[in-house]
Amino acid sequence: MTNPKKKATSRAKKTGPLRYAHPFFTTTPPDQRKSVPGVGKGLAEFSLGRLLPIPPVRANSVLQLADIIGEDGVKDVETAGKIIFHSFGDSGHPDSNNQEEIAEVMTAAYQPQDPAGSPSFLLHLGDVIYYDNTVQGYQEQFYVPYKKYPGKIIAIPGNHDGELFKYDLPIGKPTGQKKTLEAFQRNFCQAKTGVPPDAQTIYRQMVAQPGVYWYLDTPFVDIIGLYSNVGESQGAISGSEIGQVQKKWLNKTLAGIRSARTKGTRKALLIAVHHPPLSAGGHSPSVAMFKDIQDSFTTSQILPDAILSGHSHSYQRFTWYSSLNGQSWEVPVFVVGTGGRQVTHVKAATGARTGDYSFESSLQGYGFLTVEATATTISFAFTEVILNATGAPTGKSFDQKVTVDLNTHKTR
């Protein structure tokens, strides 16, 4: 029988104590580093070795707008000549009123007498639930806070939606699900539209999303929602641990959109992913994931008009400078982790350009993004939610309205 103490001692001698808790507290580029046993050549490599399998999506992974708001709702959008929707991530918080306050301000945008001018839905950017993927968790962190919000809610999962065990104290405590994302799928990916059992006495009709990643086809914007897995520090859409299924799906979906454009259908293209491709606070940017997504853009010969993300609990706006077929593009990249979870520090934006991006705006606070797409433009406006002198939640415009011209690919 092997002596476990000898095995532990042997392992300790092999690796030895590290100088720092994070072995890559260094300016040496990853490709020039020596591999650290049990870690690899970077913290991202360590994180990516602990991802969980991605649940399969239904054969038809396409959502139509009518699947969300019905045929009459689609007619309203077409008549208005635009689609409007809300977006944020990182909301779940049972010990705070932040969610209800944000929901109250968002609800004011819905006017029953003007359905064409009202938002079509809320696009949640992940981390719907924190540490409690149970019926009780969904009640406290999702159904109760949004019980008065009239909009449909669709979502991509965040890392906390997929995790099986809490990463913080108490160590190893289960999050309430035996399979990754089973609670998310139970509430967002039903077989057909209806009120999930988790809603209990709260009536909220939920959309039958085809899976944890999906493509939404609307009259004025194509939206691709991706799942970036359970990493606390880094996101991933493909890799040795989770395979290439989602990446191949992304390539195929982008190719289909590009083909539609060659036939004259040019709509805005929006990518939604929980982990931020760019970030200046809260969490580091998922550089390898962004390169993986960019590879799909190159393969499919198409670029997005904007990218939405969360994970970092702040508002951030970047401009990513890219090019396609000799034409330069300005692509807004947003971090909107402002849905109610406690805020984290973010650097002040200066507008300065670093490499292929510039950091345009930031806010350490709460709020939501309003997106509006037409046949020729897609626009973004962030509303900060604060309490007024009487203690009531109120919306405050923050950051200039950013509009992307779909013909010139420039922002204004």
Residue 14, pLDDT score: 55
Give 245's pLDDT tier (boundaries 50, 70, 90). very high
Residue bearing the bigger pLDDT, 59 or 167: 59
Do residues 64 and 256 lie in contact, with contact meaning Cβ atoms separated by under 8 Å? Answer: no
Give 35's pLDDT tier (boundaries 50, 70, 90). confident
Residues 6+ apart with CB under 8 A from 371: 84, 85, 86, 87, 123, 221, 270, 378, 379, 380
Residue bearing the bigger pLDDT, 42 or 50: 50
Distance CA 338, CA 369 (A): 9
Residue 169, pLDDT score: 63
Residue 334, pLDDT score: 98
- In this predicted model, what pLDDT tens digit does every residue of 151-179 receive, in sequence order? 999 999 999 999 999 877 667 789 999 99
pLDDT > 80? residue 15? no
User: Which domains occur in the chain, in start order?
Assistant: 63-405 (3.60.21.10)
Residue 144, pLDDT score: 97
pLDDT > 90? residue 1? no
Do residues 184 and 133 lie in contact, with contact meaning Cβ atoms separated by under 8 Å? Answer: yes
Average pLDDT in the 238-258 region?
97
Do residues 182 and 201 lie in contact, with contact meaning Cβ atoms separated by under 8 Å? Answer: no
- In this predicted model, what pLDDT tens digit does every residue of 381-409 receive, in sequence order? 999 999 999 999 999 999 989 999 999 99
Distance CA 320, CA 359 (A): 9
Residue 34, pLDDT score: 84
Residue 100, pLDDT score: 97
Residue 400, pLDDT score: 85
Give 17's pLDDT tier (boundaries 50, 70, 90). confident
Best CA proximity match to 92, nearest among 27, 211, 187, 28: 187
Average pLDDT in the 66-87 region?
97
Do residues 85 and 325 lie in contact, with contact meaning Cβ atoms separated by under 8 Å? Answer: no
Residue 64, pLDDT score: 98
- In this predicted model, what pLDDT tens digit does every residue of 101-127 receive, in sequence order? 999 999 999 999 999 899 999 999 999
Check residue 81 and report its DSSP letter: T
Average pLDDT in the 207-231 region?
98
Residue 43, pLDDT score: 67
Residue 301, pLDDT score: 97
- In this predicted model, what pLDDT tens digit does every residue of 258-273 receive, in sequence order? 999 999 889 999 999 9
Q: What is the mean pLDDT of the chain?
A: 93
**In Å, how far are 19, 90, 311, 347 from 344, measured between CA atoms?**
28, 12, 10, 10
pLDDT > 60? residue 149? yes
Give 9's pLDDT tier (boundaries 50, 70, 90). very low
pLDDT > 50? residue 8? no
